Amino acid sequence: MTDLPLWVQLLTIFMCVIVPVLILALGISQLRKTQRFMGNAQRVMGTVTDVKESRSYENTIETVTYQPTFSFQTSDGVTHSASTQVASTNRNFPIGSQQQILVNPDMLDQVRMPGFWVWGFSVIIIVFGLVFGTFGLFFLLAP
Q: pLDDT tens digits, residue range 39-52?
A: 889 999 999 999 99
For residues 102 and 120, give the distance between their C-alpha atoms in angstroms, rounded to a whole number.
Answer: 15
pLDDT the model gives residue 49: 95
Over residues 116-125, the mean pLDDT reads 87
pTM of the model: 0.74
Which positions ≥6 away from 38 have C-beta within 8 Å?
102, 104, 118
For residues 34 and 45, give the distance between their C-alpha atoms in angstroms, rounded to a whole number.
Answer: 20
Average pLDDT over all residues of the chain: 88
Decide yes or no: CATH 2.40.50 for domain 40-116. Answer: yes
pLDDT the model gives residue 16: 82
pLDDT at 95 over 70: yes
Q: Count of alpha carbons within 13 Å of 56, Cβ hemisphere only? A: 6
pLDDT the model gives residue 125: 93
In angstroms, what CA-CA distances link 123 with 17, 79, 92, 101, 104? 19, 33, 26, 21, 21
pLDDT the model gives residue 2: 62
pLDDT the model gives residue 1: 59
> How many Cβ atoms sit within 10 Å of the Cβ of residue 114?
12
- pLDDT band with cut points at 50, 70 and 90 for residue 141: confident
